[in-house]
């Protein structure tokens, strides 16, 4: 049996899956105390369950996200070395940020050694500020991590935790590397305390199987291992919804997944069962990061959004949410009231909902039913327009080879999959607004918990081989090996695969042959003057977000 | 999050799958390290720096500018069309008001491509800047345009295309042609009879450094632009004046390029040459992008700047000051001796053109109608050692009735002549024909 849990803004969903089928589902109100919420949700779903049969459990929590958004991060010190380019002072983060002397170039060659005196001085000032966690970042450290390793070696023993830039991602982006490293350092203590408390609760309940947290890329990571990478567990909600869609529907063709909630509608695109990922990483509060994430877009429009009727016969819906729908005791008309008025939803106070619709349509001279009909049409139109812009932006992304320009591969959704509370009520309207087949899966109300439960462990590596420098480097795995002049793409792929699988196993993967996708593969002959001096190989590969083999789609 | 003081568009097309030949400087990884540096700096995350996707140009975009022999398909590859199209994307972004300025960081380059194209000259087939100018004239009704070519090599292709156009001011700053390809670009080359003084060549001696370039910009280029009052300024942003460049002898730097750009404030910058792909381009391009975005570039410099950069010797400073003085006399104080050009007369010239990359010899005979109303009808007879003998007739976009008639008559007459192909480039009617 597998347990899945998703902490949402208002409700925490839990599911139990047995033999590939959902056997129990529950909703518990989310409160400000996350651990108490988790405890209550577990207690509700586990009533009468033989916990010894639970082989696996996965959680999508809001712990890291809330800590970032509510500014409850621990103080973390930063030691940064840059060299020429943008002023590293511009990326200052945290209460104790220090730029030290040292420079690497884009190939990873050392231009200027790291200043030991600067690093020691910075560390003592950070410790003087009573800060016990540290982040060290160098520009181009993903091409050569030696400066980061050196700094950690010199001063790391004085700190309870050191986060290093080259370990957070192999991608080039110095400002994002600084901020991602900082988040991993500043979340370390909070995440560790949370994880310890969660383990304690699980032990109390007799849950001893493997435990996973969901990441924003739709993959999972072992709870204990996540302590090294706490920022990777932030903002997993939208990923839970997409993985739920994948689990319940399969998402053949080009599927636009819409998760309609109370305040927002989250959108994503799944291509033949594989969700689209962002090119660089997710934004967390004010921080642009290198944390791999599914490509999602959030529109400020949901079932509880405020409806404003204008005199000219137009309806404004969202992004404001005044509270619960009028039919449920709230202050303002909402799309949910429209659903109640039309009899699509058998809940709440029908007369209050009708009154709210009448009020919204009064300026234009419509009755309650006419208004309700128009509200749902308008809601679907707004969603369709926003989705159109989302897809347009995906298609407008730059490409860098003639091949890609000529191929001009564009994303055009062939169907819409609706998730979330009102999916069944608005499917008809949405299908019409998009002009596409629109469907919603069974269990769509608890899809997020299902998504978390059955998502596989994912990981990613970036490989760069430079035969002139005589080295191959995979920063995420902390690997740098010597290579000879004949090192080629075939060997690079084999090495990448081996290290990717090893890395994934290290964070909890137990699949024998997970699906791997190569997202970047380039080889360049390096020439000086007119002589060939080496070969430059670049490879990026990752385990594709997907479902664990234990899940069998139950339709 | 960082904000750009000026909204800046970036069209990046490194053409990672195209080279002239395997060991040619114009090969796949030319912009690879620039991409590395731009990505690592996080420039694309800056609020106000907008990256655009390229689109291929179409043959019509080429036909507004060139006579391609025998036709467009024969002298272009996809990469040329995409590179030119990338420049059009940059122009659209600026003229639609989405950004204040835009940088087309594209390859292959174009400024050695002349109006008649038999093949590749100086790594260029299609003149990207001219493709932009004629496109924005048609699409957005732009009239006066200035091109400031800061590539180390004389922009002889752009000069050729705008030699007769009084509505285009072409300024080229380059290493003295007596010491470098293509061997032209002297102050005496000042424009055709209808556009005298609209071509300004500023040949700088080898070893010219930051101060020399910026002196020329301040004392000569900026006053010329002020006087001409162009609607658009395009910078042919070659990067081979760099002290690390392997095929030139100048002493410019990334911070120098950034300072130049901050003064010039071009509406559109287009990458041209520059082949120090590892130790100059990454830093120069970061400097240019930041300068266009109005950011502080004081931390931008090459890793070997402190050890290898040399400021220019005093005798170079004196030489440049003296030359700028003479050029100011000619182009700003009105002392340029203008050739007599009576309206309705025809002026002719003949010349030999060599295509270094493709080893083509071309012989041209050009006839221009002297005109006070418009840039004048132009015909070019061109013969190459590949057996082509063509006639191209150009009717400028602002042509007067007489010049339109003259051009049409030349074309009709040419059709009856013994040419392999006859071309009409009627910019007034937008008609591009080839027999």
* Gap between the Cα atoms of A427 and A315, Å rounded: 20
Residue B15 sits at the chain A interface (C-beta within 8 Å):
yes
Which pLDDT score is estimated for B17? Answer: 87
Instruction: Test B22 with A525 for CB contact under 8 angstroms.
Output: yes
Q: Which residues of chain B does A111 touch, with a Cβ-Cβ cutoff of 8 Å?
A: 303
Highest mean pLDDT among A176-190, A397-411, A415-429: A176-190
Helix, strand counts (H, E) of chain B: 13, 16
Closest CA to B400 of B343, B350, B341: B343
* Gap between the Cα atoms of B215 and B212, Å rounded: 5
Residues of chain A with a CB closer than 8 angstroms to some CB in chain B: 83-87, 90, 103, 105-107, 111-112, 139-140, 171-176, 286, 288, 396-403, 405-406, 522, 524-527, 529-532, 536
* Gap between the Cα atoms of A176 and A192, Å rounded: 23
* Gap between the Cα atoms of B227 and A433, Å rounded: 56
Shortest Cα–Cα distance, B126 to chain A (Å):
17
- Please tell me what DSSP assigns to residue B397: T
Shortest Cα–Cα distance, A175 to chain B (Å):
6
Nearest CB neighbour to A175, from listed B22, B27, B42: B42
- On whether the CB atoms of residues A219 and A379 are closer than 8 A, the answer is no
The per-residue b/e assignment along A147-178, b for 16 or more CB within 10 angstroms, e otherwise, is bbbbbbebbbeebebbbbbbbbbbbbbbbbbb
Which pLDDT score is estimated for B21? Answer: 82
Which pLDDT score is estimated for A409? Answer: 85
Instruction: Test A527 with B27 for CB contact under 8 angstroms.
Output: yes
Which pLDDT score is estimated for A279? Answer: 86
Closest CA to B151 of B126, B131, B129, B125: B129
- On whether the CB atoms of residues B427 and B67 are closer than 8 A, the answer is no
Q: Which residues of chain A does B1 touch, with a Cβ-Cβ cutoff of 8 Å?
A: 286, 288
Instruction: For residue B80, give the chain A residue with the closest CA.
Output: A402
- On whether the CB atoms of residues A419 and A299 are closer than 8 A, the answer is no
Q: Which residues of chain B does A84 touch, with a Cβ-Cβ cutoff of 8 Å?
A: 283, 299-303, 305
Confidence category of residue A499, pLDDT binned at 50, 70, 90: very high
> Which of B88, B303, B305, B308 to mutate against chain A (most A CBs within 10 Å)?
B303
Average pLDDT value for residue range A477-498: 94
Q: Which residues of chain B does A139 touch, with a Cβ-Cβ cutoff of 8 Å?
A: 40
Q: Which residues of chain B does A108 touch, with a Cβ-Cβ cutoff of 8 Å?
A: none
Surface of B (23-42) touching A: CB under 8 A: 23, 27-29, 32-33, 35-37, 39-42
Give the angle subtended at the CA of A238 by the CAs of A233 and A242, to the nearest 5°: 115
Ordered domains of chain B (ranges, CATH):
3-331 (3.40.800.20), 346-434 (no CATH)
Instruction: Test B303 with A84 for CB contact under 8 angstroms.
Output: yes
Shortest Cα–Cα distance, B176 to chain A (Å):
23
- On whether the CB atoms of residues B368 and B164 are closer than 8 A, the answer is yes
Instruction: For residue B83, give the chain A residue with the closest CA.
Output: A402
* Gap between the Cα atoms of B83 and A402, Å rounded: 10
Q: Which residues pair with A110 in a beta bridge?
A: A104
From the list B111, B112, B242, B394, the catalytic residue is B112
Write a three-state SS string for A187-255: CHHHHHHHHHHHHHHHHHCCCCCCEEEECCCCCEEECCHHHHCHHHHCCCHHHHHHHHHHHHHCCCCEE
Which pLDDT score is estimated for A555? Answer: 39
Nearest CB neighbour to B51, from listed A173, A398, A405: A398
Residue B286 sits at the chain A interface (C-beta within 8 Å):
yes
Shortest Cα–Cα distance, B249 to chain A (Å):
16
The per-residue b/e assignment along B303-319, b for 16 or more CB within 10 angstroms, e otherwise, is bebeeebeebeeebbeb
Mean pLDDT, rounded, of chain A: 93
Q: Which residues pair with A162 in a beta bridge?
A: A134
Tens of pLDDT along A195-207? 999 999 999 999 9
Residue A382 neighbours by CB under 8 Å, 6+ apart: A299, A301, A317, A318
Token match 């036709």: residue? Answer: B71
Q: Which residues pair with B434 in a beta bridge?
A: B423
Q: Determine what percent of chain A is predicted with pLDDT higher than 70.
A: 99
Residue B143 sits at the chain A interface (C-beta within 8 Å):
no
Q: Are strands B3-13 and B47-52 parallel, antiparallel or unpaired?
A: parallel
For A46-173, where are the alpha helices, taking DSSP H only?
63-69, 116-128, 146-155, 165-168
Q: Which residues of chain A does B11 touch, with a Cβ-Cβ cutoff of 8 Å?
A: 398
Residue A554 has pLDDT above 60, yes or no: no
- Prior bond of A249 cis (ω within 30°): no
pTM of the model: 0.93
Q: Are strands B145-149 and B199-204 parallel, antiparallel or unpaired?
A: unpaired
Shortest Cα–Cα distance, B375 to chain A (Å):
37
Instruction: For residue A83, give the chain B residue with the closest CA.
Output: B303
**Structure tokens belonging to residue B323:** 């030359």
Closest CA to A19 of A381, A555, A553, A440: A553
Residue A55 has pLDDT above 80, yes or no: yes
Low-confidence ranges of chain B (pLDDT < 70): none
Shortest Cα–Cα distance, B286 to chain A (Å):
7
Which pLDDT score is estimated for A553? Answer: 54
Residue B113 sits at the chain A interface (C-beta within 8 Å):
no
Instruction: Test B42 with A140 for CB contact under 8 angstroms.
Output: no
* Gap between the Cα atoms of B177 and B183, Å rounded: 4
Closest CA to A7 of A241, A180, A201, A189: A241
- On whether the CB atoms of residues A257 and A241 are closer than 8 A, the answer is yes
- Please tell me what DSSP assigns to residue A325: B
Residue A215 has pLDDT above 60, yes or no: yes
State the CATH class of domain A77-186.
alpha beta
Instruction: For residue B2, give the chain A residue with the closest CA.
Output: A90
Which pLDDT score is estimated for B342? Answer: 85
Token match 């942003």: residue? Answer: B237
Alpha-carbon Rg of chain A, whole angstroms? 25
* Gap between the Cα atoms of B274 and B106, Å rounded: 12
Centre a 10 Å sphere on the Cβ of residue A249 and count the other Cβ atoms it contains.
23
Tens of pLDDT along A112-122? 999 999 999 99
**Domain ranges in chain A with CATH number 3.40.50:** 77-186
Instruction: Test A174 with B53 for CB contact under 8 angstroms.
Output: no
Shortest Cα–Cα distance, B283 to chain A (Å):
7
Q: What is the largest CA-CA distance in chain B?
A: 66
Token match 């929590």: residue? Answer: A61
Surface of B (49-68) touching A: CB under 8 A: 51-56
* Gap between the Cα atoms of A413 and A394, Å rounded: 12
Instruction: Test B33 with A83 for CB contact under 8 angstroms.
Output: no
Q: How many CB pairs under 8 A join A and B?
A: 115
Q: Which residues of chain A does B15 touch, with a Cβ-Cβ cutoff of 8 Å?
A: 400-402
* Gap between the Cα atoms of A6 and A27, Å rounded: 10
Instruction: Test B45 with A526 for CB contact under 8 angstroms.
Output: no
Instruction: Test B16 with A525 for CB contact under 8 angstroms.
Output: no
Which pLDDT score is estimated for A328? Answer: 93
In total, chain B counts a number of residues equal to: 435
Shortest Cα–Cα distance, A431 to chain B (Å):
31
Closest CA to A551 of A42, A16, A12, A5: A16
Active site residue B112: yes
- On whether the CB atoms of residues A552 and A538 are closer than 8 A, the answer is no
Q: Which residues of chain A does B54 touch, with a Cβ-Cβ cutoff of 8 Å?
A: 398-399, 405
> Which of B12, B33, B42 to mutate against chain A (most A CBs within 10 Å)?
B42
């Amino acid at each position: 049996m597998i347990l899945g849990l998703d902490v949402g803004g208002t409700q925490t969903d839990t599911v139990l899956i047995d033999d590939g089928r959902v056997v129990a589902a529950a909703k518990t109100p989310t409160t400000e105390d996350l651990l108490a919420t988790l405890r209550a949700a577990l207690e509700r779903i586990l009533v009468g369950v033989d916990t010894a049969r639970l082989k696996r459990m996965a959680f999508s929590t809001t712990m890291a996200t809330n800590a970032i958004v509510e500014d409850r991060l621990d103080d973390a010190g930063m030691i940064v070395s840059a060299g020429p380019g943008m002023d590293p002072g511009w990326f200052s983060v945290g209460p104790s940020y220090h730029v030290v002397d040292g420079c690497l170039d884009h190939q990873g060659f050392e231009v200027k050694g790291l200043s030991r005196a600067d690093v020691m001085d910075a560390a003592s000032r950070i410790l003087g500020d009573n800060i016990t966690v540290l982040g060290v970042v160098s520009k181009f450290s993903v091409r050569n991590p030696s400066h980061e390793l050196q700094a950690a070696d010199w001063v790391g023993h004085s700190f309870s935790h050191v986060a290093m830039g080259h370990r957070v991602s192999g991608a080039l982006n110095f400002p994002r590397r600084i901020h991602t490293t900082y988040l991993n350092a500043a979340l370390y203590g909070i995440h560790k305390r949370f994880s310890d408390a969660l383990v304690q609760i699980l032990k109390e309940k007799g849950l001893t199987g493997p435990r996973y947290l969901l990441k924003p890329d739709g993959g999972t990571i072992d709870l204990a291992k996540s302590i090294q990478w706490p920022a990777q567990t932030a903002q997993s909600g939208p990923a839970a919804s997409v993985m739920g869609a994948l689990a319940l529907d399969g998402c053949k063709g080009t599927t636009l997944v819409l998760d309609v909630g109370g305040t927002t509608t989250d959108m994503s695109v799944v291509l033949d069962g594989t969700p689209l990922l962002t090119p660089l990483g997710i934004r967390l509060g004010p921080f642009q990061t290198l944390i791999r994430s599914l490509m999602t877009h959030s529109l400020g429009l949901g079932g509880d959004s405020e409806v404003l009727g204008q005199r000219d016969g137009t309806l404004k819906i969202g992004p404001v949410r005044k509270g619960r729908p009028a039919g449920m005791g709230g202050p303002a008309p909402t799309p949910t009231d429209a659903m109640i008025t039309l009899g699509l939803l058998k809940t709440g106070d029908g007369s209050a909902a009708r009154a709210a619709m009448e009020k919204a349509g009064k300026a234009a001279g419509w009755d309650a039913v006419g208004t309700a009909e128009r509200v749902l049409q308008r809601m679907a139109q707004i969603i369709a327009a926003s989705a159109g812009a989302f897809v347009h932006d995906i298609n407008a992304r730059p490409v860098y080879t003639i091949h890609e320009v000529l191929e001009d591969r564009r994303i055009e959704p062939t169907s819409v999959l609706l998730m979330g509370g009102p999916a069944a009520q608005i499917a008809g309207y949405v299908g019409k607004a998009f002009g596409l087949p629109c469907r919603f899966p069974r269990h769509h109300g608890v899809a997020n918990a299902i998504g978390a439960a059955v998502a596989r462990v994912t990981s990613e590596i970036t490989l760069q081989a430079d035969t002139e420098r005589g080295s191959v480097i995979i920063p995420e795995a902390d690997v740098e090996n010597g290579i000879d002049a004949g090192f080629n793409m075939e060997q690079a792929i084999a090495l990448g695969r081996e290290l990717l699988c090893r890395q994934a196993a290290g964070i909890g993967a137990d699949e024998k042959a997970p699906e791997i996708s190569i997202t970047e593969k380039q080889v360049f002959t390096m020439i000086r003057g007119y002589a060939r001096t080496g070969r430059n190989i670049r490879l990026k590969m990752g385990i594709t977000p997907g479902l664990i083999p234990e899940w069998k789609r139950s339709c | 999050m960082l904000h750009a003081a000026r909204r800046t568009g970036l069209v990046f097309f490194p053409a990672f799958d195209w080279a002239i030949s395997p060991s040619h400087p114009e090969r796949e990884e030319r912009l690879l390290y620039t991409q590395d540096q731009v990505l690592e700096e996080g420039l694309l995350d800056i609020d106000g720096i907008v990256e655009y996707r390229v689109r291929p140009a179409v043959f019509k975009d080429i036909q507004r500018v060139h006579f391609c022999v025998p036709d467009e398909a024969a002298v272009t590859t996809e990469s040329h069309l995409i590179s030119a199209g990338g420049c059009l994307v940059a122009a659209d972004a600026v003229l639609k008001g989405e950004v204040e300025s835009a940088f087309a960081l594209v390859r292959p380059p174009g400024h050695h491509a002349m109006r008649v194209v038999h093949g590749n000259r100086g790594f260029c087939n299609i003149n990207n800047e001219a493709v932009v100018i004629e496109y924005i004239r048609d699409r957005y009704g732009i009239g006066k345009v200035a091109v400031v070519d800061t590539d180390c090599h004389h922009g002889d292709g752009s000069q050729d295309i705008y030699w007769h156009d009084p509505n285009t001011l072409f300024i080229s700053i380059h290493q003295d042609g007596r010491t470098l390809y293509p061997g032209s670009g002297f102050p005496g080359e000042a424009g055709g009879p209808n556009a005298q003084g609209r071509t300004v060549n500023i040949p700088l001696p080898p070893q010219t450094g930051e101060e020399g370039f910026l002196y020329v910009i301040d004392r000569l280029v900026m006053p010329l632009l002020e006087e001409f009052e162009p609607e658009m300024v395009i910078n042919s942003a070659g990067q081979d004046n760099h002290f690390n460049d392997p095929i030139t002898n100048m002493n410019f730097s990334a911070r120098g390029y950034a300072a130049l750009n901050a003064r010039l404030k071009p509406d559109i910058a287009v990458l041209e040459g520059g082949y120090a792909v590892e130790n100059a381009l990454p830093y120069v391009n970061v400097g240019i992008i930041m300068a266009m975005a109005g950011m502080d570039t004081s931390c931008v410099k090459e890793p070997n700047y402190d050890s290898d950069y040399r400021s220019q010797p005093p005798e170079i400073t004196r030489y440049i000051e003296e030359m700028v003085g003479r050029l100011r006399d000619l182009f700003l104080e009105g002392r340029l001796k203008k050739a007599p050009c009576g309206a309705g007369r025809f002026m002719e010239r003949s010349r030999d053109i060599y295509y270094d990359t493709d080893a083509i010899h071309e012989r041209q005979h050009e006839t221009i109608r002297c005109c006070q109303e418009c840039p004048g009808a132009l015909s070019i007879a061109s013969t190459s050692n590949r057996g082509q003998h063509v006639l191209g007739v150009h009717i400028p976009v602002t042509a007067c009735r007489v010049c339109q008639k003259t051009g049409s008559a030349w074309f009709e007459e040419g059709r009856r002549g013994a040419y392999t192909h006859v071309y009409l480039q009627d910019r007034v009617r937008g008609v591009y024909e080839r027999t």
